[in-house]
Chains A and B, each alone.
Chain A
């Protein structure tokens, strides 16, 4: 079955850019699914960041849209997240997840999820 694995630096300096990659295994990123990023600040709830389709089409959370870029690398079966101008408020566990048909489709859910990676914003 499909498995996802996040990777990237665990520490980013304030005003810098957070960069993470999600490797997809057990399935093709070019399937008819979308691929999302979700984050969770320590001790808090879940926030959807954005998603990408293998064609490169993206949807972003309006609250983060000005700072977020999600891209796909079909040759490596992976997708990536960049979040710019980070502050301490961006400290969180970042998860990648498959979403069934994309957030524009009402019947949509996130499954499976990667194990998550903690990114701390600090000097």
Chain B
């Protein structure tokens, strides 16, 4: 299986900050990388698909980039509702694998 490693595992930031979360694949996955947001007690929500495409209805402050093995999720200006856990997921090969998650907390 392809392994997905996110960094950092947790992050403290303030409203208005610019935040970047990194996801690294154990081998090249081209642009087959998705990002999800999960709030406590809720299901994951798709934010970004195919590395950089914004899912419909997702605010434009979220963006994704990268290809090959290294990917980033950027939130340009943190809003109170953005404090959550974020997961990357590779869809290059079966089985699909998620990263371990990055918990974004309020500073």
Q: A103-B96, A106-B30, A109-B34 are contacts. A45–B87 as well, Cβ < 8 Å?
A: yes
Total residues of chain A contacting the partner, CB 8 A = 24
Which of B91, B95, B99 has the most CB atoms of chain A within a 10 A radius of its CB? B95
Q: A103-B94, A104-B94, A108-B96 are contacts. A46–B42 as well, Cβ < 8 Å?
A: no
Q: Are A115 and B43 in contact (CB under 8 A)?
A: yes
Give the interface SS of chain B, mostly helix, strand, loop or mixed: loop
Q: Are B44 and A46 in contact (CB under 8 A)?
A: yes
Q: A45-B100, A46-B98 are contacts. A108–B43 as well, Cβ < 8 Å?
A: no
Q: Are B91 and A103 in contact (CB under 8 A)?
A: yes
A35 interface residue per 8 A CB criterion: no
List the A side residues contacting B98 at CB < 8 Å: 45-48
| A45-B55 Cα distance, complex, nearest whole Å | 22
Chain B 8-36 interface mask (CB, 8 Å, partner A; 1/0): 00000000000000000000001010101
For B98, give the chain A residue with the smallest CB separation. Answer: A46
List the A side residues contacting B89 at CB < 8 Å: 46, 109-110
Q: Measuring CB to CB, which residues of chain A are less than 8 angstroms from any residue of chain B?
A: 45-48, 59, 61-63, 95, 97, 103-116
Q: Measuring CB to CB, which residues of chain B are less than 8 angstroms from any residue of chain A?
A: 30, 32, 34, 36, 42-46, 49-50, 55, 87, 89, 91-101
